[in-house]
Amino acid sequence: MTSYKQMSSVTIQIDGMHCNACVARVTRALAKVDSAKVLNVAIGQATVETANAAAAVDAITKAGYQAHAK
Ligand SMILES: [Cu+2]
């Protein structure tokens, strides 16, 4: 059991990613989000487990991409 609110798997659509360097950049940005666990990052989308999708979207946006939860 965790003290988190309900965690769920969230897919975030990301515009502006075009290569593996972008994948690495988004992965690093998401790794810094304490409330999100990275499940997968691919060109164009990321999947995270989180109760706070907005924090993950915000981190990706700050890394320079357009992100929104699907
Ligand atoms: Cu790139």
pLDDT tens track for 29-44: 999 999 999 999 999 9
Contact status, residue 17 vs residue 26, Cβ threshold 8 Å = yes
d(CA 22, ligand 1 centre) in Å: 4
Task: Give me the pLDDT at residue 3, please.
Answer: 56
d(CA 17, ligand 1 centre) in Å: 6
* CA gap 41, 18 in Å, rounded: 12
pLDDT digits (tens, 9 = 90+) for 2-30: 555 788 999 999 999 999 999 999 999 99
pLDDT digits (tens, 9 = 90+) for 46-64: 999 999 999 999 999 999 9
Tokens of 1: 């059991």
d(CA 60, ligand 1 centre) in Å: 13
What are the distances in angstroms from CA 12 to CA 3, 25, 38, 68?
Answer: 24, 15, 11, 5
Predicted structure pTM score: 0.89
